Amino acid sequence: MNGVELATLLLDRVASLHRIRIAHRDIDRHSVWIDDRRSKVVLSSFGAAHFPERKTIGEARSKLMAGGVRVPEDVGEGAKGTPFQQDVFLCGALIWTLLTGERLQLIGQVPLWTTDTFKKAAELPVTFEDWFDTCLNLDANARFPDAIAAADAFSLLVRQAERVSLEKQLERYRQDIDPISDYPPVEWIQQKPCRVYRARGNETDFLVKSWPERSLGERRKTAARLIEFLGKADALRASAAEWLPAERPLLHDRASGGQ
């Protein structure tokens, strides 16, 4: 599992606690267990947890914590929020480590987040910055209200980042061409559901296969399949086997709608 997958699982696990109004309040490396083989995240160390309709441990919380990081409220910084907003802060700090491999600087056991912190993570999409800003705000009331909201916002960012990444991968194949004009047919083999024909240009014979874009469905949903197909075509071309025809996979956008 990569860092994004682990972060998603962690947020989902904490969100499931918040749905039944339980806050963990001691989330850090010592209390998060990862089963990579089963793609599972398990939480432990519930000694400082907040339970609904029970007498809470109040100020004794810090004595029951198992050595993890603290939230700003523990040291008198920022406005106090709910136990669920404490979990949001702790999740944000741990997810920063999952995504970057680096721990946030600690001041009095409290992770420090500043406007310059995100600049150190060049590999993260810039859209994630606001999410971390919200999770790690000194003012607890400015954070997400709970891990449910934090998980929903994170999932939306992940989906957006995946779409951007897929479009960037497709961009290397995109060309401003029209197969019919640039590779005029000399012999038709098939016209539906995709166009297959022989063409000739610059004293070279071509076999052209063109799929109407409408036959591929919505680009957002088929981008991954397109990349897989074009990648396989690239691999065949790179093999340079004598018995293979020369290939040039291209992606084109035309009014006629083709790929």
Instruction: Give pLDDT tens digits for 210-223.
Output: 877 666 666 666 66
Within 10 angstroms of residue 241's Cβ, the number of other Cβ atoms is: 9
pLDDT, residue 2, reads 82
Q: What is the rounded distance in angstroms from the CA atom of residue 240 to the CA atom of residue 107? A: 58
220 or 198, which is more confident? 198
pLDDT of 161 strictly over 60: yes
Note the pLDDT tens digit of each residue in 104-149. Answer: 999 988 999 998 999 888 788 888 999 999 999 999 999 999 999 9
Q: What is the rounded distance in angstroms from the CA atom of residue 186 to the CA atom of residue 179? A: 12
Residue 33: band (very low, low, confident or very high) from pLDDT cuts 50, 70, 90: very high
Residues 31 and 116 sit within 8 Å (Cβ to Cβ): no
Domain boundaries, the chain: 3-171, 179-239
The arithmetic mean of pLDDT across residues 228-253, rounded, is 65
Residue 70: band (very low, low, confident or very high) from pLDDT cuts 50, 70, 90: confident
pLDDT, residue 245, reads 61
pLDDT of 55 strictly over 70: no
Average pLDDT, the chain: 81
pLDDT, residue 231, reads 73
Counting residues of the chain whose pLDDT is more than 90, the rounded percentage is: 37
3-171: CATH topology is Transferase(Phosphotransferase); domain 1 (1.10.510)
The arithmetic mean of pLDDT across residues 206-233, rounded, is 71
Q: What is the rounded distance in angstroms from the CA atom of residue 200 to the CA atom of residue 35? A: 57
The pTM of the full predicted model, rounded to 2 decimals, is 0.64
Within 10 angstroms of residue 178's Cβ, the number of other Cβ atoms is: 14
